[in-house]
Chain A
Amino acid sequence: MKHLIIGNSAAAIGAVEGIRQMNKSDQITIISDEPYFTYSRPLISYLLSGKLSLEKMNYRSKSFYEDNHVTFKYAHAEKVDHLNKQVFLDDGDQMSYDKLLIATGSKAFIPPFAGLESVENKTTFLSLDDVKKLDAMGLESKRVLIIGAGLIGLKCAEGITKKAQSVTVLDLAPQILSSILDYDSSLIVKQHLEKKGINFILSATAEKFTQNTLTLKDKTQIDFDILVLCVGVRPNASLLSGIAAIEKGVVINERAETSVPDIYAAGDVTNGVAILPNAYVTGECAGINMAGGNKTISKMLPMNAIGFFGLNIITAGNYTGSIFELNKDSEFKRLFYQDGLLNGYIMIGNIAKAGIYTSLIREQTKLDTLDFPLICEKPQLMAFRLEERLEKLGGKVERMKFFQPEI
């Protein structure tokens, strides 16, 4: 069996590990348009700040391809011929496959700002090459303007604050991190970032760029030396356009199959929630099925763990329903619940044991089976019923014992 994987990040590596769970003999080739060993994309801001060396960016140990008998090929996949099961590469090669995985991730979304082409020093912030590009612009004594106060924009801001002369983040929305925080909680994080020297211009509409000046709709002018575009990302699904069903991203079923036989997709390129854990899990699922297994995945939960200058944030689910709030000292927490279920949560500062909340959302745990006030106070197994605690900590034997009638 010949597996071809386009992409070299979490979903691709998940697929390799999925295939190898099934067998050691199938042929695996990874095609990547980046000339690097598999690296962890979320770590690029750590590289930029100097916290991590290039070598520490590796997502797996250096012998990974060798250990898993993976052939790595640096090339850009240009076209998929699904009828003849071939992929055409930009170096003129064509590669045949039995099973194909599209794990091409996402690409930066750049709105058609007027005058953008007149800006000399500009970049997006998604890849190792973007970091190199930013570094080459020489951040020292430069005024950096970041468009987009989302996860990517703010991680970039954190990474360059110490180096750059000034960092200003601009967003159309009235709040920062609108993909993971509600308005109130965003104020806490914003304040923290401002203390660290980051400037914000929110509810702002960019009108036009003229070389090193941005003019807003309200005619305010912002001068900058370097522009970083972090408005958002879109699934990089063009390889399958006109071939497979695509909505926002490539549509996959619970086996990570696309609408085309023998073509799978995983990670940010799909319609799912674009975060690394989901990329790995869908990739692994695809891999297992590509190698003849039968793995299914349930719907992916939006969730996120991120930190800025030592302030930790963990969030999951959606923010509808009634709210339980805890806001004291350096701890902020909101739980959102409805119809006896936990919908979502936001934790800032103290993030201990957050995964217990995540599991309540994932497992759709009925809150009336729990000591709800206790679990609101802090996530803990004590809030579960005795038999569930026994199963969680004692395995299945304990559960059987518990249910045995006493004679």
Chain B
Amino acid sequence: MKRVYVNEKWCLGCRLCEYYCAFQETKESDMARALKGIKINPRINIEEKNGISFAVSCRHCEDALCVKGCITGALSKKEEVILIDKERCVSCYTCILSCPYGAISPSQDGAIKKCELCTDSASGIPACVKGCPNNAIVFEERLG
């Protein structure tokens, strides 16, 4: 199945992926207006040091430790995509304890946050991928 892959060689560290991710979540039409004055809490995060940078988001693991360990059943896997049911999450953070990539984060709304590959978007292409100006984030089929 298609997943988000990143290639740090092409990453500029511009953090546009983070902004597009946060914007996608607002469901607004104007990015500047939607994000103005807001401290974003995106589901993809740039790691950066000494000129190296890359984006990290959910890998949608085949053997998903977060789903198996979820104490409420809020995390589930549907068609290879790991989804979070915010209504059922109690923010116990067992998933944060389990995720080897650090791709799950707390949020202010009482539930955890993670990439769901923009499965709710019309285009079917994740916003971070669409917004990356240098193809450092791609959405494609690979071996794993």
Contact = CB atoms under 8 A, between A and B. Distances in A.
B100 A393 contact: no
A33 interface: no
A238 to B, nearest CB: 26
Q: Is the interface of A mostly helix, strand, loop or mixed?
A: helix
B95 to A, nearest CB: 8
A352 B68 contact: no
B6 interface: yes
Interface string B80-94: 000000011011111
Contacts of B90: 43, 46, 51-52
Interface residues of A, number: 50
Most interface-central of B56, B71, B97, B99 (chain A CB within 10 A): B97
A352 B65 CA distance: 17
Given A61-B73, A351-B96, A382-B47, A394 B101 contact: no
Interface in A109-138: none
Nearest to A57: B72
A40 B94 CA distance: 13
Interface string A246-280: 00000000000000000000000000000011001
B102 A381 contact: yes
Interface stretch (A199-207, A306-314, A323-331): A306-314
Contacts of A307: 91-93
Given A51-B90, A356-B102, A316 B97 contact: yes
A303 interface: yes
A180 B89 CA distance: 23
Contacts of A108: none
B72 A314 contact: no
A374 B47 CA distance: 12
Interface string A276-310: 11001100100000000000000000011111000
A352 B96 contact: yes
B117 to A, nearest CB: 15
A164 interface: no
A156 B10 CA distance: 51
9 contacts: A40-B73, A277-B94, A281-B68, A281-B69, A303-B97, A355-B96, A380-B102, A393-B6, A397-B142
Given A305-B93, A352-B102, A381-B47, 4 more contacts: A40-B73, A42-B92, A355-B102, A358-B97
